[in-house]
Amino acid sequence: MKALIIGAAGFVGGYLADHLRNECGWSVCVTKMPQETCEIEGAKVYDLDILEKNSIKELFEKTAPDYIFHLAAQSSVAVSWKRPELTVDVNVKGCVNVLEAARELVKKPRILLVGSSEEYGPSLEEENPVTESQPLRPGNIYAATKACQGMLGSIYAKAYQMDVIMVRAFNHIGPKQAPLFVVSDFCKQVAEIEKGIKEPAMYVGNLSAKRDFTDVRDIVRAYSALVQKGIAGETYNVGSGHAIAIQDLLNNILKLSTKEIKVEVDPNKLRPVDVPIVEADVSKLTNDTGWERKYELESTLKDILEYWRGIV
């Protein structure tokens, strides 16, 4: 089998490429933005900006993939408040460009569109864990674009009988994630404090939110299971099934530190609105694919902290 990963220079792409090549034995092609660097062992790397629609079809024809994993996005909720236009362009227009290019192909690939748990928006505590049939109430710009991407995928699947599967990925974490995201941010700060290059203060945002965290290595196993066993036109939650308060997550990280650290709220890290809780019901994923998570949160946190200790 031949897989094409679009947007592979980001956090998830490298893990997915390694998994597909090493565990599935597939041949893997990946794309990166022209200005990015991306070296993935055994993968052929192409430049692609999904806003340049004419180059997408050409690439699809050249690589003739059986599976396309569409990861390319402006993936930060925080950045989406600051750069709404860019977020809409990449996440909505870019996705349409990918779907349109695939629609015109003679050999039709199976496409996995990666959306987000943010699409559910604010839900009542008792509505959690959320199933895929929960109404979507996107509460930020990133969430709205991902909800739109999911709707587009579903429309293309129905209208053109295209083989498209939609995913709503809950928070994923692991070594190499940008410190724009909470766990990477906290672990990086701990490593800097331990090294003595930062005063012993941890700057945080909203600690009351509850999120469902999964190791990225489990996330990519779910993506590969879905392209092999998922049902076309369907949407799947991908997460751990357990939400944890960011405060508890922080406490777990602080326990791993060798230094005493005080915690301070940085008002710049607070968002205009923040979903209070989101927890995944993953029974559809497990029923259709047999997927189960392998990594426990504690071991993932240790891996991330070790990664940052090696970097700073």
Residues near ligand A2R (CB under 6 A): 7, 9-13, 33, 36, 48-51, 71-75, 90, 94, 114, 116, 169
Among ligand A2R, ligand GDD, none, the one that 246 touches (CB under a kind-dependent 5 to 8 A) is ligand GDD
Nearest residue to 26 (alpha-carbon basis) of 60, 56, 63, 1: 1
DSSP lists the bridge partners of residue 68 as 4, 111
CB of residue 108 to ligand GDD, shortest distance in Å: 27
**CA angle (27 as vertex; 24, 29 as ends), nearest 5:** 125
> Please, which residue, 62 or 137, has the CB nearer to ligand GDD?
137
> Applying CB under 6 A, which of residues 3, 40, 77, 157 lies at the interface with ligand GDD?
77
Near ligand GDD by CB under 6 A, which window of 158-166, 178-186, 251-259, 287-295? 178-186
Contacts of 190 (CB under 8 A, 6+ apart): 202, 253, 254, 256, 257, 259, 261, 305, 308
- Say if residues 102 and 146 touch (Cβ distance below 8 Å): no
Q: Can residue 134 be called a binding residue for ligand GDD (CB under 6 A)?
A: no
Near ligand GDD by CB under 6 A, which window of 24-32, 33-41, 179-187, 280-288? 179-187
Rounded to whole angstroms, what are the CA distances from 57 to 54, 101, 269?
6, 5, 40
CB of residue 182 to ligand A2R, shortest distance in Å: 13
CB of residue 290 to ligand A2R, shortest distance in Å: 22
H or E segment at 239?
none
Long-range contacts of 87-91 (CB under 8 A, 24+ apart): 87/141, 87/142, 87/145, 88/141, 88/145, 89/51, 90/50, 90/51, 91/142, 91/145, 91/146, 91/148, 91/149
Among ligand A2R, ligand GDD, none, the one that 271 touches (CB under a kind-dependent 5 to 8 A) is ligand GDD
Count of residues interacting with ligand GDD (CB under 6 A):
22
Q: Can residue 243 be called a binding residue for ligand GDD (CB under 6 A)?
A: no
Which parts of this chain interact with ligand GDD (CB under 6 A)?
75, 77-78, 116-118, 169-171, 181-182, 185, 204-207, 209, 211, 246, 269, 271, 274
